[in-house]
């Protein structure tokens, strides 16, 4: 399958059709602009619409298109009796689905999906019904999971395309991406070497087929200019140029076989790689099958082990393609090529490593011991120019916040109404420092906690101010001012330098594990690639050159485009890209104003990369999350305790915690951690309400549902800016 990165708004706009005058549609009113105009959602697309007789009071209505004036659609509400409308809609829906050729179990499943879309303001067509049936038939998972995927996509106003549905389904119900990232991470450093080897093989073939010295010289110079070679390799090639074709080929063969155990691709392997790219990217299935037949008819391929199974798989793929099951045919071909590669080691010929013998190792050891070198370790602290600049930036930010707090105290003493705006500006300044300031990447967790607590306390002061309690608000501002002024930020690079008498120094970076802070978690999400498009767009809008940030998603896409991954790993990498894309799509706020996030976060736990699924829900206002009133649910898989679900619900900074596990002694096991955890939560402004422990199997679905239940927010508090 070809992965395409398409902006969702552009994709939706591209798939829309002109609205026909006289046609009846179901729309949802998103925003009332005036008494006669509103922004509505139709088939997941938002548009401006004018209403004859005024905007209806209902949220979801039937309308009839009456005319069009410039870019504004003019419509009128179609009023029906509720009962007859419901029964009529049901009959019309069943008739439409049968017209689309649906029957039996598929009719029931698609009817449920259609109901979800109709409730969200989408219009059902035979084409959409067939698309839903095909997706529900081929996608892995239960019917309930697929319906949940459709509901999530519809709630965010996305077009019901195969791309959107697959991505969101992977994010909600897909497999762990941690293992894929670990395996691909091991493979990525080898891809560059393989690309160089392939270019060397092509250059060797070009030189062997030519007797023109000028042509050969031109090809070699172009290769030296474009290839990533070290100085010694370039020098060897340049020295071989005057010696002629034989010397050049000898040098190139040496370069092609260079490496410790790295495989050199053969011609058959090149053919296999090219064929895999065709299967993944060529939309015309007939062309794919033609290339597969050409590959299978090659004499060298027919002599390979497992060729009989491969030819059987090709025949099976041809039958699947003839019956319209192209996706299954591509899957069969990909798996068959993977098995062919595994059963034929000659596709890749590893070069043996040059290992030292036992006698050589013993001689080296005795020689080193005879030197009697004195050595010592010295702890060296270095402050680079960048770290010095970050210190200056932090001091400036601290001064600005201090000035705002001084101004707030003066306004509070005079009971001036402008103090609210100053406090909001200070809160925004603190949150920006935490989430956007580069100095926070080098700060310890204690500094971050103090800034978080300062923001939380100022939120509390603003609430007191709104209730007219100027005295307590002033006291809180004074305490925050003292806390901020006491912050000390001195970043440094600490290394252990190993000095040996008579020899050059060696240095080792002190291992300092990253502390589990909120900013580090944000950077982890950024490194996954979930904010890449947003960062690029913001830079372009600001007139700046977008920074080339390395992230997992772009690395996976690059590896897939190069085609260097084996078939099995390529399929897993595709799945991981879909999962990340689905998380991006799910980050779009729904029509109710709720912000819901479904994150797959690979975390290092006990020296192993583990996958943690996190579900977050909070009220959203102006792209800002209300972190004081939100719900969070995640599941951890542990070796000793099995699966543990943790539900956190915040209400006015009161935190209610529920642990779910099948272990009966979980309460006793949690007691040693409870006190420390509660203290840390208190450090950032939370108070613990209740703590419960429930059975996992019976309560998991309840916890997930609770994390998706709308939250009543009695205060209009703002939280962290999620768009960086």
Q: Give the model's pLDDT for residue 83.
A: 37
Place of tokens 């935490």: 434
Whole-angstrom CA distances from 60 to 79, 332, 334, 401 are: 12, 45, 46, 46
- Same domain assignment for residues 227 and 306: no
Residue 644 maps to a domain: yes
Strands 24-32 and 37-42: antiparallel
Q: Coil, strand, or helix at residue 608?
A: strand
Q: How far apart are the first and last CA of the chain?
A: 32
| Residue that is written with structure tokens 């300031």 in the block | 437
d(CA 632, CA 618): 9
The set of long-range contacts for 379-385, using a CB threshold of 8 Å and a minimum separation of 24, is 379/494, 379/495, 379/496, 380/494, 380/495, 380/496, 380/497, 380/507, 381/492, 381/493, 381/494, 382/492, 382/493, 382/494, 382/495, 383/491, 383/492, 383/493, 384/493
Nearest to 177, CA basis, from 599, 523, 602, 569: 602
Q: Which residue, chain included where needed, has tokens 């005058």?
A: 21
Query: Which residue shows structure tokens 């509660």?
Result: 678
Residues 623 and 671 in one domain: yes
Range of the domain at 282: 267-347
Residues 458 and 390 in one domain: yes
Structure tokens at 304: 């390979």
Q: What is the DSSP string of 25-81?
A: EEEEEEEE-SSSEEEEEETTEEEEEEETTS--SSSEEEEEEEEEETTEEEEEE----
Q: How far apart are CA 665 and CA 661, in angstroms?
A: 9
272, 231: one domain: no
Torsion of CA 282, 287, 288, 291, to 10 degrees: -130
The answer to whether 489 and 439 are in contact (CB under 8 A) is yes
Residue 621 lies in a domain: yes
Cβ–Cβ < 8 Å for 375, 499: yes
Output the CA torsion sign for 470, 475, 481, 483: negative
∠ CA 106-583-128, rounded to 5°: 30
Residue 359: inside a domain, yes or no? no
271: buried, middle or exposed (CB in 10 Å: 19+, 13-18, 0-12)?
middle
Would you call 360 helix, strand, or coil by DSSP? helix
Q: Same domain, yes or no, for 69 and 47?
A: yes
Closest CA to 558 of 535, 585, 529, 538: 529
Residue 246 domain-assigned (yes or no): yes
pLDDT in tens, 99-114: 777 766 677 888 888 8
Choose one of 35, 50, 77: the last residue of a domain. Answer: 77
Residue that terminates a domain, selected from 174, 200, 230: 174
Enclosing H/E stretch for 685: none
CATH of the domain at 619: 3.30.750
Residue 290 tokens, joined: 């033609």
Nearest to 270 by CA among 212, 358, 199: 199
Considering the domain architecture, whether residues 406 and 481 belong to the same structural domain is answered as: yes
DSSP 244: -
Rg (CA), the chain: 32
Of the candidates 295, 322, 347, which is a domain's last residue?
347
Place of tokens 């049936």: 133
Position 503 in a domain: no
Neighbours of 696 (CB within 10 A): 19
Which string of DSSP letters, residue by residue, matches 32-48?
A: E-SSSEEEEEETTEEEE
Q: Could you tell me the CA-to-CA distances from 420 to 404, 417, 474, 653 in Å, in that order?
A: 11, 6, 12, 20
> Tokens 């950024």 map to which residue?
526
CA 315 to chain centroid: 38
Residue with structure tokens 């008494």?
A: 35
Q: How many domains does the chain have?
A: 7
Question: Is 291 within a domain?
Answer: yes
Please list, in sequence order, all residues whose beta carbon lies within 8 angstroms of the beta carbon of residue 245, skipping any fewer than 6 positions away.
Answer: 207, 211, 213, 216
Cβ distance 691 to 657 under 8 Å?
yes
H-only helix segments in 507-551: 518-528, 532-541
| DSSP 8-state symbol, 563 | T
In a domain, 16, yes or no: no
Please indicate, yes or no, whether residues 622 and 653 belong to a single structural domain of this protein: yes
Cα 327 from Cα 221, distance rounded (Å): 44
Predicted TM-score of the model (pTM): 0.54
Q: How many whole angstroms separate alpha carbon 178 and alpha carbon 657?
A: 27
Tell me the C-alpha distance between 27 and 653, whole Å. Answer: 37
Would you give the distance in Å from CA 382 to the centre of its chain?
Answer: 35
In this structure, the answer to whether residues 275 and 326 fall within a common structural domain is yes
Q: Catalogue the long-range contacts made by 336-341 (C-beta closer than 8 Å, 24 or more residues apart).
A: 336/309, 336/310, 337/272, 337/275, 337/276, 337/279, 337/310, 337/567, 338/566, 338/567, 338/568, 339/306, 339/309, 339/310, 340/272, 340/304, 340/306, 340/307, 340/310, 341/269, 341/272, 341/566, 341/567
DSSP-assigned letter for residue 721: B
532: left (phi over 0), alpha (psi -120 to 50) or beta: alpha
Beta-bridged to residue 665, according to DSSP, are none
Cα–Cα nearest to 584, from 559, 621, 554: 554
**Distant-in-sequence, close-in-space partners of 92: CB < 8 Å, separation ≥ 6:** none
For 355, the 3-state DSSP assignment is coil
The whole-number pLDDT of residue 357 equals 53
**Same domain for 192 and 142:** no
Tell whether 243 and 315 lie within a shared domain.
no
What H or E segment, with its residue span, contains residue 259? none
- The distance from CA 679 to its chain's CA centroid, rounded to whole angstroms, is 32
- Both 115 and 166 in a single domain? yes
Q: CA nearest 43: which of 23, 70, 71, 67?
A: 23
pLDDT, one tens digit per residue, over 66-76 is 888 777 788 88
- Burial code (b: 16+ CB inside 10 Å, e: under 16) for 41-55 equals bbbbbbbebbbeeeb
Q: Please report where in the chains the tokens 């002629």 appear, as a residue.
A: 244
Query: Mean pLDDT of successive 10-residue segments in the chain (724 residues)?
Result: 35 49 78 84 79 82 82 77 41 71 74 85 81 85 89 84 88 76 66 65 78 80 72 75 78 61 52 77 82 80 79 87 81 84 61 48 57 52 68 84 85 80 83 75 76 83 82 86 82 53 43 58 80 76 67 79 72 83 80 70 69 76 69 76 81 82 77 75 77 67 47 37 34
Predicted local confidence at residue 713, as pLDDT: 40
Per residue in 475-523, pLDDT (tens digit) is 888 888 888 888 877 766 555 454 544 444 444 443 344 556 677 777 7
Residue 121 lies in a domain: yes
Is residue 613 located within the same domain as residue 564? no
Residue 627's nearest CA partner among 431, 486, 344 is 431
pLDDT of residue 201: 75
Where residue 428 sits, what CATH number does that domain have? 1.20.120
Residue 318 pLDDT? 87
Pair 24, 116: CB distance under 8 Å? no
Any idea of the CA torsion for 407, 411, 412, 417, to the nearest 10 degrees? -130
- Which CATH number characterizes residue 30's domain? 2.40.50.140
Mean pLDDT of the chain: 72
Residue pair 711/618 in contact (Cβ under 8 Å)? The answer is yes
């Amino acid at each position: 399958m070809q992965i395409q990165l398409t902006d969702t708004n552009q994709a939706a706009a591209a798939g829309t059709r002109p609205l026909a005058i006289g046609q009846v549609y179901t729309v949802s009113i998103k925003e009332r602009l005036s008494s006669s105009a509103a922004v509505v959602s139709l088939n997941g697309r938002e548009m401006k619409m004018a209403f004859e007789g005024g905007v209806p009071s209902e949220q979801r209505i039937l309308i009839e298109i009456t005319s069009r004036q410039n870019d504004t659609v003019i419509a009128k509400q179609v009023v029906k009796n509720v009962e007859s409308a419901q029964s009529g809609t049901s009959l019309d829906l069943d008739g439409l689905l049968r017209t689309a050729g649906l029957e039996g179990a598929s009719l029931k499943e698609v009817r449920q999906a259609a109901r979800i879309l109709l409730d969200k303001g989408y219009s059902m067509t035979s084409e959409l019904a067939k698309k839903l049936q095909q997706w529900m038939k081929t996608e892995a998972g239960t019917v309930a999971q697929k319906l949940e995927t459709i509901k999530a996509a519809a709630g965010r106003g996305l077009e019901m395309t195969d791309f959107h549905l697959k991505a969101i389904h992977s994010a909600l119900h897909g497999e762990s991406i941690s293992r894929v990232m670990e395996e691909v991470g091991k493979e990525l450093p080898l891809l560059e070497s393989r690309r160089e080897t392939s270019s060397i093989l092509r250059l060797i073939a070009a030189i062997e087929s030519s007797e023109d010295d000028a042509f050969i010289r031109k090809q070699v110079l172009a290769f030296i200019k474009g290839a990533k070679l070290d100085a010694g390799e370039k020098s060897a090639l340049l020295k071989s140029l005057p010696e002629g074709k034989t010397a050049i080929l000898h040098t190139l063969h040496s370069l092609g076989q260079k490496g410790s155990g790295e495989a050199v691709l053969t011609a058959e392997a090149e053919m296999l790689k090219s064929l895999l790219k065709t299967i993944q990217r060529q939309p015309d299935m007939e062309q794919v099958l033609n290339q597969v037949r050409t590959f299978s008819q090659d004499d060298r391929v027919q002599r390979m082990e497992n060729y009989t199974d491969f030819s059987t798989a090709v025949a099976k793929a041809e039958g699947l393609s003839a019956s319209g099951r192209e996706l299954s045919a591509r899957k069969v071909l990909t798996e068959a090529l993977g098995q062919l590669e595994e059963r034929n080691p000659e596709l890749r010929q590893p070069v043996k490593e040059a290992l030292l013998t036992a006698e050589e190792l013993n001689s080296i050891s005795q020689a080193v011991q005879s030197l009697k070198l004195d050595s010592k370790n010295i702890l060296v602290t270095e402050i680079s120019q960048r770290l010095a600049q970050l210190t200056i930036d932090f001091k400036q930010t601290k001064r600005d916040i201090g000035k705002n707090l001084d101004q707030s105290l003066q306004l509070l003493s005079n009971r001036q109404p402008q103090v609210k705006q100053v406090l909001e500006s200070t809160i925004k300044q603190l949150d920006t420092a935490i989430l956007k300031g580069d100095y926070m990447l080098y700060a310890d967790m204690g500094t971050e906690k103090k800034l978080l607590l300062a923001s939380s306390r100022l939120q509390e002061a603003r609430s007191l101010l709104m209730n007219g309690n100027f005295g307590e608000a002033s006291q809180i501002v004074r305490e925050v001012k003292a806390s901020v002024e006491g912050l000390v930020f001195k970043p440094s690079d600490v290394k252990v330098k190993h000095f040996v008498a008579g020899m050059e120094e060696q240095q080792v970076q002190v291992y300092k594990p990253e502390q589990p802070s909120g900013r580090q978690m944000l950077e982890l999400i950024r490194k996954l690639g979930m904010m890449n498009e947003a960062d690029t767009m913001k830079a372009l809008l600001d007139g700046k050159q977008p920074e080339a940030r390395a992230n997992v998603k772009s690395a996976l896409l690059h590896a897939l485009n190069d085609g260097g991954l084996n078939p099995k790993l390529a399929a897993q990498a595709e799945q991981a890209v879909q999962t990340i894309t689905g998380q991006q799509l799910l980050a779009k706020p729904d029509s109710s104003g709720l912000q819901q996030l479904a994150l797959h976060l690979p975390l290092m736990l006990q020296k192993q990369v583990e996958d943690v699924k996190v579900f977050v829900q909070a009220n959203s206002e102006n792209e800002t999350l209300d972190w004081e009133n939100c719900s969070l649910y995640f599941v951890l898989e542990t070796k000793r305790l099995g699966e543990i679900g943790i539900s956190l619900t915040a209400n006015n900074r009161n935190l209610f915690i529920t642990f779910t596990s099948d272990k009966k002694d979980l309460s006793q096991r949690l007691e040693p951690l409870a006190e420390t955890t509660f203290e840390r939560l208190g450090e950032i402004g939370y108070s613990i309400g209740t703590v419960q422990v429930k059975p996992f199997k019976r309560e998991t679905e309840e916890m997930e549902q609770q994390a998706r239940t709308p939250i009543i927010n009695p205060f209009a508090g703002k939280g962290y800016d999620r768009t960086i």
